[in-house]
Every structure is written in structure tokens, then in C-alpha cells.
Amino acid sequence: MPKFELLEPADTREALSLLSELGERARLLAGGTDLMVNLRRGRIRPEYVVRILSKEGLQGFSTGSTGLRIGAMATIREVAVHPAIKERFPALARAALSMATPQVRNRATIGGNLCNASPAADTAPPLLVHDAEVDISGAAGSRTMPLRDFFQGPGAAALQAGEILTAIRVPDPGTGVGAAFIKLGVRKAQEIAIVSVAVLLRRGAAGQVDEARIALGAVAPTPLRVPAAEDELRSRPFSLELAARAAGLAASAVEPIDDVRATAEYRRAMAGVLVERALVDAWEKAAENCEG
């Protein structure tokens, strides 16, 4: 473990001030499940680690007519078991539950999972299909941006020096919506995704697809949406043939790599398979929600 000075600011405002002043010499400690690994492996060597003690405004959940706000310091376990998420955003709950181990889920935060900017971040695909936004704060003020613009590359998020992610905002999905999440790994637990897929479909009164969103993880430099596949689905009656065509378009849009978990060829093939399965699953859920 490299040597560093641990700073424990009294509140979020002081933390933002320190991060702004120290710049690249400092790293933020929230859950620490990624930071501590990177420190031990020598991937980063900060002079300072800023530990957030006050979680005011950074933790908890709030619901309203416009949707759900998730504090960035909410743990992955809290996301997985929260009643509002399980009811209105089940794909996100399932993704959170698939992540790592119970011990890690009790410690890791949803903000950290996103800020780590891993292409395989488990919570990213379901949040992307729900058109989530992120709130960002810094010493100079606050801003909000779409999550789809937050990921800049492997390990690179759209945070400027001295900024932190404070919350995730997820719009209410409305009625007639079904969402699905599927993760493929070598094992069923404690696994980084080889491919992950999230799908959201809205069923129209005549049985057509009114809205379609598809997101994938671990198959490109960042988690990504696939507009061509989404456009193929919209305003058409749902069928297995339509799902297969959209899945093929999704598979052709990915940019996978070879690594220790899988080859690029296998990832591309499985991206199509999982998208097709997730589309069928989401459509069935949308039908159930229409009936309900």
C-alpha cells in the first residue's frame, strides 16, 4: 500500500474545497471497494485520500411524481432491496443484486460503481435504458447531465477536477413498460460481466412497440445504447422475428475486445443472444403491466 495522507472533512462543502485545491494529487474515498484495490496494486499513488464522513445529501432515496433520486453514497445492497426500485425499476434491482458479493454490496456505492467508469459496470445498462441523469457538484457549483454522456472511456468519467457525483435521477417509467437485465459471466456470482444487457420496452394499445431502449455493458470502451436496434423496434408489432433483427443490429454495433474472460468474437455473438432474450422478457413484463 503506497503512503498517503488521509483527510476527513467535516462536511461535503469542505470535501469539495479540498478536492478542488488538491486536484490530481487527491482521490475520494466513499465505499472504497475499487479505490483500495487500485491502491494495493499500485495503479494509483495519490498524495491524499479524502474520506467523506458526512453523507448529507449523498445518501438515501426520494420519490416523487417525476421519478426517483438515489444519493450517490447509497450502497449497492440498498439499491438492490429498496421497495421503490424493486417495484418500478426491477432491472436496476436485479443488476445491483448480481454485483460482486454480499460483503462488497454492503460497502460499495452506486456512485462509485458509475464513477469507476468500468465498461462492465453492472448498474450502468439499466440506468441507461431508464434515461437516468447524474447530479455533479464542485466548488464552483452544481450541474446535471445525462448518464449517457458521463462515460468518457475505460476508467474515465466526465468529472472535472474537484467535482463529485452527488445523486442519480431516474425518471418514472410510466405505464405499459417492461424492463429486463441479463448478465453473462463465467460464474453466476462474484463475477465481472462478459456481457450485460438491459432492455426497456413500452407496449402500445394496439400491441406495437411504442418505446424501445437497449443498453449493453462489457462490449465497448463504455457502456452504450444502440440506437439502430432501438429504431428497428419502434412503432412495429412485437414478434420474435423483430426481436431477432434488433438483436442482430445490437450485436453489429458493439466493439468488444479479447481479454482473460472472453474473446471479442464470443462477446459479439452473446450480445445478440442476450439482447434477443431480454427483449422477449421485457415485452412479457410490459404486457403484464398493461394488464395490471
Q: Which three cell numbers stand for residue 179?
A: 424492463
The domain spanning residue 27 has which CATH number?
3.30.43.10
Question: End of a domain among 144, 171, 198?
Answer: 171
pLDDT of residue 291: 63
CB contact burial 90-119 (16+ within 10 A = b; e otherwise): bbbbbbbbbbbeeebbebbbbbbbbbbbbb
In terms of residues, how long is the chain? Answer: 292
C-alpha to C-alpha distance for 255 and 187, rounded to whole angstroms: 23
Question: End of a domain among 151, 171, 191?
Answer: 171
C-alpha to C-alpha distance for 102 and 137, rounded to whole angstroms: 30
> Does residue 128 sit in the same domain as residue 37?
no
Average pLDDT value over all residues in the chain: 95
Amino acid (one-letter) located at 18: L
> Does residue 105 sit in the same domain as residue 200?
no
C-alpha to C-alpha distance for 84 and 63, rounded to whole angstroms: 8
CA angle 140, 143, 148 (to 5 degrees): 135
pTM, 2 dp: 0.95
> Does residue 191 sit in the same domain as residue 278?
yes
Average pLDDT over every residue of 249-260: 97
In a domain, 147, yes or no: yes
Average pLDDT over every residue of 191-206: 96
C-alpha to C-alpha distance for 154 and 132, rounded to whole angstroms: 20
Within a 13 Å sphere around the CA of 258, how many CA atoms are in the beta-carbon half? 2
**Contact residues for 261 (Cβ-Cβ < 8 A; gap 6+):** 185, 186, 192, 194
pLDDT of residue 131: 98
Q: Which residues pair with 23 in a beta bridge?
A: none
pLDDT of residue 253: 97
> Does residue 165 sit in the same domain as residue 224?
no
- pLDDT 10s digits, 62-106: 988 889 999 999 999 999 999 999 999 999 999 999 999 999 999
Amino acid (one-letter) located at 225: R
Residue 252 burial (CB count, 10 A): 13
Q: Which domain holds residue 112?
A: 61-171
Domain count, the chain: 3
> Does residue 190 sit in the same domain as residue 109?
no
In a domain, 135, yes or no: yes
- Which of 9, 10, 53 is CA-nearest to residue 30? 53
Average pLDDT over every residue of 187-200: 91
> Does residue 277 sit in the same domain as residue 196?
yes
pLDDT of residue 191: 86
Average pLDDT over every residue of 233-261: 97
> Does residue 39 sit in the same domain as residue 67?
no
In a domain, 56, yes or no: no
Check: CB of residue 207 under 8 Å from CB of residue 237. Answer: yes
Amino acid (one-letter) located at 91: A
The domain spanning residue 197 has which CATH number?
3.30.390.50
> Does residue 24 sit in the same domain as residue 122?
no
Average pLDDT over every residue of 100-115: 95
In a domain, 243, yes or no: yes
> Does residue 74 sit in the same domain as residue 10?
no
> Does residue 166 sit in the same domain as residue 199?
no
pLDDT of residue 289: 86
Check: CB of residue 269 under 8 Å from CB of residue 251. Answer: yes
Question: End of a domain among 107, 140, 171?
Answer: 171
Q: Which residue has the higher pLDDT, 292 or 285?
A: 285
Whether residue 53 has pLDDT greater than 80: no
Whether residue 267 has pLDDT greater than 80: yes
CB contact burial 132-158 (16+ within 10 A = b; e otherwise): bbbbbbbeeeeeeeebbebbeeeeebb
Q: Which residue has the higher pLDDT, 274 or 54?
A: 274
Helix (H, G, I), strand (E, B) or coil at 220: coil
CA angle 135, 158, 103 (to 5 degrees): 70
> Does residue 30 sit in the same domain as residue 105?
no
The domain spanning residue 81 has which CATH number?
3.30.465.10
C-alpha to C-alpha distance for 129 and 107, rounded to whole angstroms: 25
pLDDT of residue 1: 86
Average pLDDT over every residue of 266-282: 98
Within a 13 Å sphere around the CA of 263, how many CA atoms are in the beta-carbon half? 3
Q: Which three cell numbers stand for residue 126?
A: 439499466
Whether residue 292 has pLDDT greater than 70: no
In a domain, 185, yes or no: yes
> Does residue 157 sit in the same domain as residue 196?
no
- pLDDT 10s digits, 121-131: 999 999 999 99
- pLDDT 10s digits, 206-236: 999 999 999 999 999 999 999 999 999 999 9
